[in-house]
Amino acid sequence: MAKNAYRAVYDSWMADPEGFWLREADAIDWIRPPETAFDASLGTYGRWFPDGTCNTCYNCVDRHVARGRPGQAAIIYESPITGHSRTITYAELLREVEATAAVLMDQGVAKGDRVIIYMPMIPEALVAMLACARLGAVHSVVFGGFAAHELATRIDDCTPKAIVCASCGIEPGRVVAYKPLVEAAIDEARHKPENVLVHQREQQAASLDRPGDLDLTALVEAARTAGRAVPCVPVAATDPLYILYTSGTTGQPKGVVRDNGGHMVALTWSMENVYGVEPGEVFWAASDVGWVVGHSYIVYAPLLYGCTTVVFEGKPVGTPDAGAFWRVISENRVSALFTAPTALRAIKKDDPEAKLVGDYDLSGFRTLFLAGERADPDTIQWAERALGVPVIDHWWQTETGWAIAANPMGIERLPVKLGSPTVAMPGYDIQVVDESGQPVPAGTLGNIVVKLPLPPGCLPTLWGDDARFRKAYLDAFPGTYQTSDAGYVDEDGYLFIMARTDDIINVAGHRLSTGAMEEVLSAHPAVAECAVIGVTDSLKGQVPCGFIVLKSGIEQDPEEIERELVQRVRDQIGPVAAFKRVVTVERLPKTRSGKILRATMRSVADGESYRMPATIDDPAIIHEIEDAIRHRGVGRAGKA
Ligand code: COA
Ligand code: AMP
64-108 pLDDT, tens digit each? 999 999 999 999 999 999 999 999 999 999 999 999 999 999 999
Nearest to 558 by CA among 533, 585, 535: 585
Which pLDDT belongs to residue 523? Answer: 96
Protein residue whose Cα sits closest to atom 20 of ligand 2: 374
- The stretch 464-475 carries a mean pLDDT of 97
Nearest-atom number in ligand 1 for the CA of 290 is 7
Which pLDDT belongs to residue 636? Answer: 79
Pocket probe mutation, ligand 1, options 576, 579, 580, 581, max atoms within 8 Å of Cβ: 576
Question: Which ligand gives the minimal distance to the CA of 537?
Answer: 1
- The stretch 522-537 carries a mean pLDDT of 96
Distances (CA, A) of 73 to 58, 93, 365: 17, 9, 18
Q: In what order do the strands lie in the sheet with 367-370?
A: 84-89, 73-79, 308-312, 282-285, 334-339, 367-370, 391-393
Nearest-atom number in ligand 1 for the CA of 570 is 17
- Judged against a pLDDT cut of 60, whether residue 418 lies above it is answered with yes
- The stretch 229-252 carries a mean pLDDT of 94
First-to-last C-alpha distance (Å) of the chain: 49
The response to whether residue 341 sits with its C-beta less than 6 Å from ligand 2 reads no
Q: Could you state, in order of their start, the residue ranges of all structural domains in the chain? A: 5-314+394-451, 508-639
Which pLDDT belongs to residue 259? Answer: 98
Distances (CA, A) of 210 to 147, 187, 191, 215, 314: 20, 12, 16, 12, 31
Task: Spell out the residues 6+ positions from residue 199 whose beta carbon is closer than 8 angstroms to its own.
Answer: 119, 122, 124, 164, 165, 166, 167, 216, 217
pLDDT band at residue 638 under the 50/70/90 scheme: confident
- The stretch 228-252 carries a mean pLDDT of 94
The response to whether residue 120 sits with its C-beta less than 6 Å from ligand 1 reads yes
Nearest-atom number in ligand 2 for the CA of 246 is 2
Residues 547, 549, 554, 559, Cα dihedral to 10°: 20
The response to whether residue 425 sits with its C-beta less than 6 Å from ligand 2 reads no
Nearest-atom number in ligand 2 for the CA of 399 is 2
Task: Spell out the residues 6+ positions from residue 554 whose beta carbon is closer than 8 angstroms to its own.
Answer: 526, 561
297-337 pLDDT, tens digit each? 999 999 999 999 999 999 999 999 999 999 999 999 999 99
The response to whether residue 373 sits with its C-beta less than 6 Å from ligand 2 reads yes
The response to whether residue 371 sits with its C-beta less than 6 Å from ligand 2 reads yes
Question: Which ligand gives the minimal distance to the CA of 394?
Answer: 2
Protein residue whose Cα sits closest to atom 3 of ligand 1: 145
Domain 5-314+394-451 of CATH type 2.40.420.20 = no
- The stretch 567-578 carries a mean pLDDT of 96
Average pLDDT, the chain: 96
Write out the DSSP string of 137-175: -EEEE--TTS-HHHHHHHHHHH--SEEEEESEEEETTEE
Which pLDDT belongs to residue 360? Answer: 98
588-603 pLDDT, tens digit each? 999 998 999 999 999 9
Separation of 395 CA from ligand 2 center, angstroms?
6
Protein residue whose Cα sits closest to atom 40 of ligand 1: 343
Separation of 480 CA from ligand 1 center, angstroms?
34
- Judged against a pLDDT cut of 70, whether residue 1 lies above it is answered with no
Nearest-atom number in ligand 1 for the CA of 578 is 22
Q: Can you give the pTM of this predicted structure?
A: 0.96
- Judged against a pLDDT cut of 90, whether residue 251 lies above it is answered with no
The response to whether residue 497 sits with its C-beta less than 6 Å from ligand 2 reads yes
Which pLDDT belongs to residue 583? Answer: 97
Question: Which ligand gives the minimal distance to the CA of 284?
Answer: 1
479-492 pLDDT, tens digit each? 999 999 999 999 99
Separation of 118 CA from ligand 1 center, angstroms?
16
Question: Which ligand gives the minimal distance to the CA of 499?
Answer: 2
Protein residue whose Cα sits closest to atom 31 of ligand 1: 315
The response to whether residue 144 sits with its C-beta less than 6 Å from ligand 1 reads yes
The response to whether residue 372 sits with its C-beta less than 6 Å from ligand 2 reads yes
Task: Please give the angle made by the CA atoms of 162, 164 and 165, to the nearest 5 degrees.
Answer: 140
Separation of 402 CA from ligand 1 center, angstroms?
23
Question: Which ligand gives the minimal distance to the CA of 375?
Answer: 2
Which pLDDT belongs to residue 640? Answer: 61
Question: Which ligand gives the minimal distance to the CA of 341?
Answer: 1
- The stretch 341-352 carries a mean pLDDT of 97
Give Dmax (Cα) for the chain.
74
The response to whether residue 296 sits with its C-beta less than 6 Å from ligand 1 reads no
Pocket probe mutation, ligand 2, options 392, 500, 511, 576, max atoms within 8 Å of Cβ: 511
Protein residue whose Cα sits closest to atom 21 of ligand 2: 374
Domain 508-639 of CATH type 3.40.50.300 = no
At what angle are helices 514-522 and 558-572 packed, to 10 degrees?
130
Which pLDDT belongs to residue 248? Answer: 82
- The stretch 10-38 carries a mean pLDDT of 98
